[in-house]
Amino acid sequence: MGDRAGGKVVVLHERLTMSVKFQQHELPYAYSMITFAQKIRPHRDGQHHFQKYFYLWTAFNNIYTTFAHRQGMSTRLVRSEDGKVLTVPNGNVNIPRVESVSEREKLYLALDEFDDELKHRLIVHKSTRFFLERIPAWKGGKIEHDAFGQRVNGVINVNHTCDADYPIWSPIDIQFYERYAADPDDEDCRNFLATQIVDLLYTVRDNLMHAGRKLDDANDISVVENALPLLEMIVASFTW
C-alpha cells in the first residue's frame, strides 16, 4: 500500500490480518445509521456536518460495543463474596448494583481491531494535519499555550475545561507526527497517533452533546467538518 507522508511516497508493510467486516444482519442498527447519514444533503449553514457526525458516531458506537460484547466485556451484577447480589436503595425499592464497561474501554477494544493500513490512512489524512496545526477555542477565545507553556492543538474538551490557563484537550502530538512522517514503519508511533485520533474524535462527540451558544470547540463547524472524514473512514473499514 503506497501513500504519502511528509511529502514523500512511502510503502507501509501491512499486517496479514485485515479489519473485521460486519455484515448487515450483524449490525443492523449501525447500517441504518449509515444509510441515514448518506441521505443528509449539504446546508449553507454547515449544520449537516453535525447531523452526519451524530449518525456515524452512533454507527461506530454499535461497532465498538459489539467488539466489547464479543470479548465478554459488558455490564455485570456486583455480588458479595458469598454470591449475593448487592443493591443500592432508591426510595422504597432496592436496585441491583452493576459494574459497566466505560466508553473509552470499548473504544480501545475497537482500536485493537484497526489494521495498520487504516491507522496509516488516518494519520496521513489532511484532517489530522488540520488538528495538528489548529489553535483551539474556549468561551470565545483562542488558547495557544497553557499555563505549563505547552502548545495547545487538537480539540478542547469544553465539558471538562474550567480555566483557560489549564485546558483539558485532545492533542495530536507534533513530535510523534513528525517521527511518523520520517518513518511510517514505526509501529509504536503509528499506534500512539491512531489512539490520539480516536480520543480526539470522542472529544468531538462529547462536545456536541454539550454544545451551547458560546463560541468554542463544541460548535465550531470546521472541527466537525474535519473530524467527519476520519470517522467515516473508521466506520467504512468495518462495514460493507
Query: Do residues 56 and 235 make contact, with C-beta atoms less than 8 angstroms apart?
Result: yes
Read off φ and ψ for residue 79, nearest 5 degrees: -120, 155
The predicted model gives 137-141 an average pLDDT of 92
Give the chain's mean pLDDT: 91
Instruction: Tell me the C-alpha distance between 161 and 166, whole Å.
Output: 7
Asked if the model's pLDDT at residue 52 lies above 70, the reply is: yes
The predicted model gives 146-159 an average pLDDT of 96
44 pLDDT band, cuts 50/70/90, is: confident
Beta strands in 26-182 (DSSP E): 76-77, 87-90, 93-96, 98-99, 137-138, 141-142, 155-156, 169-170
pTM: 0.88
36 pLDDT band, cuts 50/70/90, is: very high
